[in-house]
Structure 1
Amino acid sequence: MATPKVVRTVTQALLAPLIAVVASVIVTSIVVSIAGSSVSDFWNVIFTWPSHRNMVNIINQTSMIFLAALAAAIGFRMNLFNIGIEGQYTLAGYTAALVAGYAWFPGKLNVLVALVVAMVVGALWAGIAGLLKVTRGVSEVISTIMLNAIAGTLVGYLLNNYGDQYGQGRRTTPIPESSQLSGWTPWTAADGSIWTLTILAVIAGVVVSVMINRTRFGFDLRATGTSEDAAVASGVKVKRMVVISMLISGAIAGLVWMPALFGGADYYGPPFQHQLGFTGIAVALLGRNRPLGIFFGAVLFAWLSEQANPLGLVADISPSIVQITQGVVVLAVVIAYEVVRRWTAAREQRELKAALGAEVAA
């Protein structure tokens, strides 16, 4: 039988998500109503079980959003704000596609080399911000935002001047057929395939979870993020931790587009998907920077994005309402957790005062 302490702990853990869900539903419903649309039609479309094709898209999108959020979470756990995931995976995606297209290595070895290149490029690009922070005191927020702009401009320049002509645009050389990954088709070919490299999200999640919770590096990372002064007092080399954390965050960011690249995109160009980095930041906040929480957040965002497509056709509602819903969910979760944290802290203080008062009276 559960003890009162266990029940209270579970209740506290569930209270914040419950408050966030209720608040999100209420606020979104008000927005839909103000927009002059049917609230019931909106929620009916959102909660309708997706078709097989949509389900495949949700799974594939979840893998990329999860990787982006995991990259952001590494920095957040260290109290670093890596806003540059967008630039890191953009530059890494272009470079990996370029290397894979040249096919210097045979078959699947070409895929492995491209993945390593993507991680190295992402890590080095994020490492610039880390070095600037520890050597010149430059805020990683400012430097990563600027590096986003530089990465986008650099890739655009290289693509326009050295890319292959493709319709009205440019692209890198397509990946050879021997290096393409067919994926897994759970239903029919018309429904599409789940990308083979969605497994990268699973591997990265497990590795990061073990690293943060079961290693000395993870302890130092969490300690530094909680209190830098206390970490220094315990012998943690904070500057080195900053650089290493940014390198790891960038390396994971470099993998964000890899499932899509080898899952059917086959080259960098029009198929490239932007904005995953910023989505990942929101999901990392939603998941409280924990891999399991990030997974559920990634599924939620992928679900909402995919279900937004039929809104205009079925319910005559603008799909942009979903973007508002995503923002409301993140804000509601952040606020709800802070409210519950303060309420819990206040209750514990009252209990402590009561216990001390009882001892004095005795």
Structure 2
Amino acid sequence: MTTAKIRSAVLAPALAVLVAALLCAVALLVSGDSPLQAFGVMISQLGSGTVAVDTVNSAAVYYIAALAVAIGFQMKLFNIGVEGQFRVAACMAAIVGGTLPLPPVLHTIVIIAVAALSGAAWVAVPALLKAYRGVSEVISTIMLNAVATGLIAYLISTDTFGQLEGNNITTPPIAPSGWFPGLTLGESGTLFGMILVAAVLGVGYWFLLGRTRFGFELKASGQSPTAAAAGGVNARRMVLIALLSSGAVAGLVGLPELLGRDHAYTLTSPSGYGFTGIAIALLGRNHPVGIALGALLWAYLDKSAVALDVVGIPREIVLIMQGLIVLSVVVAYEVVRRVDLRAEQRRVAEAAPVAPRPAGVTS
């Protein structure tokens, strides 16, 4: 890796985090709180209780969501419907897993397959509209997020597949044969087993898009559909593959918690992961390692909000920091890009041969 690439990969995100921390420190001073106390609490809380394990578990969920977004980004497609896709998929997987008796392992595989297929099916309409009618995937996917909310409310109502549990409505619980076993670390908590699936997805994403002809054609279609078509690439087919793959990965977002902790889908099941995935994909620049670091940072900041509450510091400072990090990353990468461009221009100018003067010409 060249020095310029290392600078772009390391310096830009580090600069963004530093700038975001400085701006948050200013916000804390304005509000009358101590930045040193706030940052000290955020750092010290990582070693207490189950915070470290909870951070990794949340990061796995964020990582899968960001990968789903990044697949679309690689082809200049903005799948803003990851939120609806993962929620519908989690609901369908919970219903099938809770009503279909199967032996261990096979039960878990079926639940994962149902989730992936449900996510892909939910994005199929926007994919077809984009490929054959040029309809913006941003509009169609975000509209389907609202439809997903209504569909889920119908599916888990007591008139369909839901059942009343206290003040909550839930799908039938998934039997232990369908659970994805995790790694118990004693008092520190239990790591979700789906972390392994997230890691496999990351490796597959890196290999498929960065080391195969298919990945090259996918990105080429996003850069210039006309040029890709001239090279024999079916851009329409690539749009369908990219969005369907994005939807399939999005369908797995809810499974770490569904198969590792909750074992049912309820009215109070977590939401918002799809939109967080967009921010993390931007933070990680669509690179699997960058996305992993971004997911860990985001999850760590989420857990820090609770610790700040305990000492009387507004937890909203975490939201401010998360937003500032995303904005700072965009600015930092642009600054580093321009520095690299100017350095390259200077190198080219210095390496260019000096044209000899014509005979008889004096200065």
* Band the TM-score falls in, shorter-chain normalisation: over 0.9
- The Cα RMSD (Å) is 1.7
Letter in 1 for 2:339: W
Q: 2:344 aligned with 1:322, yes or no? A: no
**Residue by residue, what CA displacement relative to the aligned partner does 1:308-357 show, whole Å, maximum 9, x if unpaired?**
1110112x11112101111111111111111211222233234334444x
The percentage of counterpart residues that share the same residue type is 42
Structure 1 residue matching 2:257: 3-state secondary structure: helix
Which of 252, 255, 262 is the equivalent residue of 2:252? 255
CA contact (8 A) 1:265 1:271 kept: no
Q: CA deviation at 1:192?
A: 2.6
Whole-angstrom CA distance in 2 between matches of 1:361 and 1:250: 61
Corresponding residue number in structure 2 for 1:64: 61
Partner of 2:179: 180
1:34 aligned partner: 30
Q: Does residue 234 of the first structure (1) align with residue 231 of the second (2)?
A: yes
User: 40, 43, 53: which one pairs with 1:44?
Assistant: 40
One-letter amino acid of the counterpart of residue 198, structure 1: I
Q: 1:17 to 1:164 in 2, by over 3 A?
A: same
Give me the whole-angstrom Cα distance separating, in 2, the residues matched to 1:70 and 1:58: 18
Distance 1:210 1:6, change over 3 A: closer
Question: Using the alignment, how far apart are the partners of 2:199 and 2:274 within structure 1?
Answer: 18
Give the counterpart of 2:290 among 289, 293, 298: 293
Deviations 1:220-253, CA, capped at 9 Å, x for gaps: 1121223333222211111110010001100000
What are the equivalent positions in structure 2 for 1:308-319 lying under 5 Å apart? 308-314=305-311, 316-319=312-315
> Is the aligned partner of 1:76 residue 2:35?
no
Q: CA deviation at 1:78?
A: 0.7
Letter in 2 for 1:15: L
Q: Tell me which amino acid in the other structure corresponds to 2:29.
A: S
> Which structure features the higher share of helix residues?
1
Change (3 A) 1:235 1:106: same
Alignment of 1:244 with 2:241, yes or no, is yes
Correspondences of 1:262-273 after superposition (within 5 Å): 262-270=259-267, 272-273=269-270
Unpaired runs of 5+ residues, structure 1, are none
2:327 maps to a residue whose letter is L
User: 2:354 aligns to what?
Assistant: 359
Correspondence for 1:225 = 222
**Which consecutive segments of 4 or more residues in structure 1 shift more than 4 A?**
5-9
Is the CA contact (8 Å cut-off) linking 1:103 and 1:176 kept in structure 2? Answer: no
Q: Normalized against structure 1, the TM-score is what?
A: 0.93
Question: What SS does the corresponding residue of 2:78 show, helix, strand or coil?
Answer: coil
Q: Is the alpha carbon distance of 1:39 and 1:138 closer, same or farther for their aligned partners in structure 2, counting shifts above 3 Å?
A: same
Change (3 A) 1:249 1:9: closer
Mapped partners of 1:252, 1:155: distance in 2: 19
> 1:15 aligned to 11, 16, 29, which one?
11
Counterpart-to-counterpart distance in 1, 2:3 and 2:132: 48
State whether structure 2 residue 294 is matched by structure 1 residue 303. no
TM-score, structure 2 length as denominator? 0.93
Residue 165 (structure 1) aligns with: 164
Gaps of 5+ in 2: 358-363
